[in-house]
Amino acid sequence: MNRLGLLVIGLWLLGGSVTPLYAVPVDRIVAVVDDDVILLSELEQQLEIYAAQFQIPLSDTQRIQSLRQELLEGMINDKIAVRVAREDEDISVSATEIEDALESALADIKSRFTSEEDFELALAEEGTSLDELREKYRVEVEDQLYKSKLISTKIRANVKVTQADLQKFYEENKDKFPTETPTEVTVAHILFLIKPATDIIEQKRQELNQIRTRILNGEDFATLAEEYSEDPGSRMRGGDLGFFSRGSMVKEFEDVVFSLDAGEISDIVETRFGLHIIKVEEKVENEDRVRARHILLRVAPTESDVERTRALAQSVRDSLLNGADFTEMVHRYSGDANTMDKDGVMGTFPLNELDEVYQIALKDVGEGEYSEITQSEYGLHIFKVLERKDPAPVTFEDIASRIEPMVQQQKMAEAYDKWIQKHRKDYYIENRLESLQ
């Protein structure tokens, strides 16, 4: 799939069908719904997207053929649903709703590209523009809004999930649910960052400061990133990290990047990855998203740095075992900015869902007890188990709230299918797929 396939996928994820972006030498009609038609190219586009999303090999001809027929029936049903919705006096879609949905979809699609330039290049490669793309998909977006409103008012509003429905679903699917709850732990920690010796950090800081000075004097940030950055994921893109939202980066990096204006260069920022300078390329204020570049110089700790940090962690653990206040030690020693204001509390987790290194560390730690010193990719930890819930038999009451969305979705699908079958009788429908094969 070419790069602009991302655009098609983005719009398809809205739930509607999409028109192919490329010309098909010989196109054929695969279905007729009254005076409307569905083209083979449209069906094949849907098939390509679906197969890619669910990793279905196109070489599996039997499965692909079955899927092709299933998708075509879905496209026919979509056309019927939209026609009924457009004819219903109680359902309307405003121009503002269409514009908002279209802009939201396009913004989401643009965010899939590493930069605005990359997005525009993909459009140019297909011989189109953003305005042309917007107009091309306006009708599809409008149709999807009509269908969504129809489902909301005619289907979802009439679907009620009762306790009996939940109980029936549970009994029929018992073998798919766990028989007992996993061990749950509420954990706090002190994280000891393994930092290189001060003189090594200072040497790297001076190197990065020289690069920053060159940028401030007019040299190109992207060019210097390609030359000096030690981030393999962004170096060859000139340090470009693409668009990202809050919560995507480590706190120290994020606090700085969201405080900068577009075009501004940061001072040196230290994170567990090393030392950075950051340039914000674009800001989307109303969505709290930015596109930024960075240059990273890694400062790798030595084995002696690890041992020095381990000795500190051991002395802190000894103090805790002798009655020192855990919260006080968190604020004095922890290098985890994300949990510092929560007194080191990380949260509550099913033990079996944690990374193996944490499972091993916490396996035999009781409530109120401390783990041994544990090394992870982040540094050295001392964990404290604040609460521990051991496994217990799973009951219907334990999972009723989890299965309710499943039951509602199932009942909605059944209600929608029943509704569609009723309305199909009101339209002329011709499925030509079998005759074309």
Q: How far is CA 126 from CA 5, 141, 206, 268, in A?
A: 10, 21, 46, 41
pLDDT of residue 130: 86
- 3-state SS, residue 379: strand
Angle in degrees, CA 137, 142, 148, rounded to 5: 125
Do 5-160+412-436 and 184-195+302-389 come out as alike in CATH topology? no
pLDDT of residue 205: 95
3.40.630.10, 3.20.20.140, 3.40.640.10, 3.10.50.40: CATH of 184-195+302-389: 3.10.50.40
- 3-state SS, residue 279: strand
Task: Say whether domain 5-160+412-436 belongs to CATH 3.40.50.300.
Answer: no
pLDDT of residue 233: 87
Name the stretches of the chain with pLDDT < 50: 1-25
Q: How far is CA 62 from CA 28, 31, 205, in A?
A: 22, 21, 61
pLDDT of residue 437: 63
CA-only gyration radius of the chain, Å: 28
> 188: part of which helix (H) or strand (E)?
strand 184-192
Per CATH, the number for 198-297 is: 3.10.50.40
- 242-283 pLDDT, tens digit per residue, is 889 888 898 899 999 999 999 999 999 999 889 999 999 999
pLDDT of residue 2: 46
Report how far apart the first and last C-alpha atoms of the chain are (Å, whole number). Answer: 24
- 3-state SS, residue 409: helix
- 311-356 pLDDT, tens digit per residue, is 999 999 999 999 999 999 999 999 998 899 999 999 999 999 999 9
The number of angstroms, rounded, from the C-alpha of 352 to the middle of its chain's C-alpha atoms is 23
Each domain of the chain, given as residue ranges in start order, spans: 5-160+412-436, 184-195+302-389, 198-297
Distance CA 345, CA 350 (A): 15
- 91-132 pLDDT, tens digit per residue, is 999 999 999 999 888 888 887 777 777 888 888 887 888 888
Global confidence as pTM? 0.58
Q: Which residues contact 28 (CB under 8 A, 6 or more apart)?
A: 39, 40, 432, 436
